[in-house]
Amino acid sequence: MAKIYLVAGHGGSDAGACDYGRKEKDDTLDLTLDVGKALTGLGHSVMYNRTSDVDTDMYAYVRACNNFGADFCLSIHRNAFYRKAKGYETCIYSNTGKSKVFADYVNAGMASIGFVNRGSKIRTDLCVLNSTAMPAALIEVGFIDSEEDNRIFTSRYSDIVKCIVNGVLKAVGSSQSAGNVTPSKPTEPAKTPSKKDLGQVNCYYQVFTDRWWPTVKNHEDWAGEGDGVPIRYLGICVDKGSIRARVHTLGGGWLPSITFKNMYNIGDLINGVVGDGSPIDAIELYYITPEGYKYKKAVYCASSLEGDEFYPVQYDDEVSDTMDGYAGAMGIAIDKFKAWIE
């Protein structure tokens, strides 16, 4: 029988990623204990980095794993990325041996369960992968800030446990397979409170060319002089929530982002507005919705010195076939700009 070392990601004062009423440290502990229970039930020897909600020392548990003489080490996590991504992925040190066997099996299994298959990621920088003396893997079981992934995590929990157990068994060369899995602590559906409607959010902004132009509200007009006169500073704010802004300067690069709430300050050219006095050729905005409200986005567009037409609208910092993550065109200064929230 094999020796398996299981790592429940985070714990204690380190909650890990949190969203939709869930904490990564809780989900990983439940999953780790149920995977371990199933492996122990099949006769394998299992050691854990933690079995309760306590702080852990990564270097200490890697040493414990090596001293245990484990045949395989598995670190269990959940992912997060600003509610912009979803899916399952396996992180391994190299795409060879037992780690590859585990990753290939579990990647496919999680896809059949319903997760987007993000595949295997080679991570030579992770201590649990580069300092363990045996094959190892770190798994990200869906994004905790994805409602869809949380639904799958809850509704297909037993299948997820079984998939992970069978992946470990294949990795250590066992012909066994997990039977029906009864979670020791069934995961309750995340109690996601219904989000309130924020209503109209007004966006106010003004720009500087060779002087400050009047404030514009939403898309009632555009800001700037036009006529090929480049914008050099941008002041922007919203009456609800906050908005993060940064600009790219012609011949320069991206300047640091600044987050504004219900005011900006054209008298403070360092922290009150964005820009450094150089012509601006790209603007990036991201609207931050207040907690508990339905999400909204910044919508904005710009016109360059080379034409009168505005480029297609940009939503937050999203990237697609028609959006570059910013408004404008690198290398061509902007002379008109408008923005609103929807």
Residue 194 lies in a domain: no
Sign of the CA dihedral 274, 275, 279, 282? Answer: negative
The domain boundary, picked from 121, 155, 171, lies at 171
In the chain, the DSSP E strands lie at 3-8, 18-19, 22-23, 45-48, 72-79, 88-92, 117-122, 136-143, 203-208, 216-217, 233-238, 242-249, 258-260, 280-288, 298-304, 314-315, 327-328, 334-341
Provide the pLDDT confidence category of residue 294 given band limits of 50, 70 and 90.
Answer: confident
User: Are 19 and 160 part of one and the same domain?
Assistant: yes
Domain count, the chain: 2
Count other Cβ atoms within 10 Å, centred on residue 182: 11
Contact in structure between 128 and 67 (CB atoms under 8 Å): no
Give residue 292's pLDDT.
82
316: left (phi over 0), alpha (psi -120 to 50) or beta: left
Asked if the structure places residue 179 within a domain, the reply is no
High-pLDDT (> 90) share of the chain, %: 84
Task: Give the DSSP letter of residue 93.
Answer: S
Q: Which of 156, 171, 186 is the last residue of a domain?
A: 171
Average confidence (pLDDT) over 325-337: 94
Annotation marks residue 147 as catalytic: no
Q: Please give the residue range of the domain that contains residue 291.
A: 203-341
We report the CATH number of the domain holding residue 114 as 3.40.630.40
Instruction: Give pLDDT tens digits for 265-292.
Output: 999 999 999 999 999 999 999 999 998 8
Smallest Cα–Cα separation from 90: which of 2, 5, 178, 164? 164
Half-sphere exposure of 228 (CA within 13 A, CB side): 2
Average of per-residue pLDDT values in the chain: 93
**66 and 131 belong to one structural domain:** yes
Of the three residues 122, 154, 171, the one that is the final residue of a domain is 171
Q: 82: pLDDT confidence band, cut at 50, 70 and 90?
A: confident
Of 89, 140, 225, 318, the active-site residue reads 140
Looking at the fold, whether 20 and 156 belong to one and the same domain comes out as yes
